[in-house]
Amino acid sequence: MLQLNIKNETSRLRAVILGTAESNGSIPKVEDCYDPKSVEHVLAETYPKESDMALEMEAVAKVFKKYDVKVFRPEVIKDCNQIFSRDIAFVIEDKIIRANILPDRDREIEAIGYIWNQVDSENRIILPEECHVEGGDVMPWNDYIFIGTYSGEDYPDLITARTNMDAVIAIQELFPDKIVKSFELRKSNTNAKENALHLDCCFQPIGKDKAILHKNGFLIEKEYNWLVDFFGKENVFEITKDEMYEMNSNIFSISEDVIISEKTFTRLNTWLRKQGFTVEEVPYAEISKQGGLLRCTTMPLIRD
């Protein structure tokens, strides 16, 4: 059996699910894309090739091997995009919570069934149908659980709105001892630079007390200011609109000292090193064309 343990985003990682680019399927039609960035690349004929994405994911697998992290991969489903393992489930404390995701993606959950079944049945959580949530919106941070959400009346029309207030309430009920703090995110079906698909597209805690933030990803300024105050202005790395578009906040922590980051994130990686982090740089620019990056493709199961 797997003894899950996730209390935050940065404690030393021991086991993780890393998505797969194998048998990724053909280039989607515009109307079948889930986010505006994918649409851009389909229209521009720059949608990533399966072989390129597979190489990028192997670069991450190598870093995990270097740090002795146990890596699980989904079972390969023919012609199915299984890159973003964070979307389909997430772990808080000793519980694995199945995401209620876009209905087309149910098959992806079956592909990690062999991992799900290694968890004690009482720690496998399926939320009620009305609770929409994806792992990219959920961040355990010690006594807190930070959750990105959207509660506008146009929620049903926004394919980019993935987590609703019903899910926020359900997670608070599951973890009564935690402080669940939700943040309204800016959504756009058509403009990738004005769309925070998930909370990790505009915010991520790193180390013990630092964070990467993008102000415009938050709909309500005082919610953004709360995070700045919580971490302290001197501990926040504020990214630009272009850096958010390139997914600079969507890196991944192996520990409080070691971060996997995209190799072209020059400004961020320089800052991280100045703060004392070891930065493991990988090529991930092709995967980013689908609107996700390192945090989206990884689903931690066990941290110290």
Q: Give 10-residue mean pLDDT values along the chain (304 residues).
A: 97 98 83 74 83 95 98 93 91 94 76 96 94 94 96 70 89 98 87 84 97 96 98 98 95 98 98 98 93 94 98
User: What pLDDT is stored for residue 292 in this prediction?
Assistant: 87
Nearest partner of 263 among 241, 239, 288, judged by Cα: 288
Tell me the C-alpha distance between 15 and 264, whole Å.
27
Q: What is the CA radius of gyration of the chain?
A: 18
Coil, strand or helix: which one is 289?
coil
User: What pLDDT is stored for residue 168 in this prediction?
Assistant: 96
Nearest partner of 138 among 8, 33, 35, 243, judged by Cα: 8
pTM, two decimal places? 0.94
First and final C-alpha spacing in the chain: 17
User: What pLDDT is stored for residue 43 in this prediction?
Assistant: 82
User: What pLDDT is stored for residue 152 in this prediction?
Assistant: 75
| 185, burial (CB in 10 Å: exposed 0-12, middle 13-18, buried 19+) | buried
Strand-pairing partners, residue 289, are: none
User: What pLDDT is stored for residue 18 in this prediction?
Assistant: 98
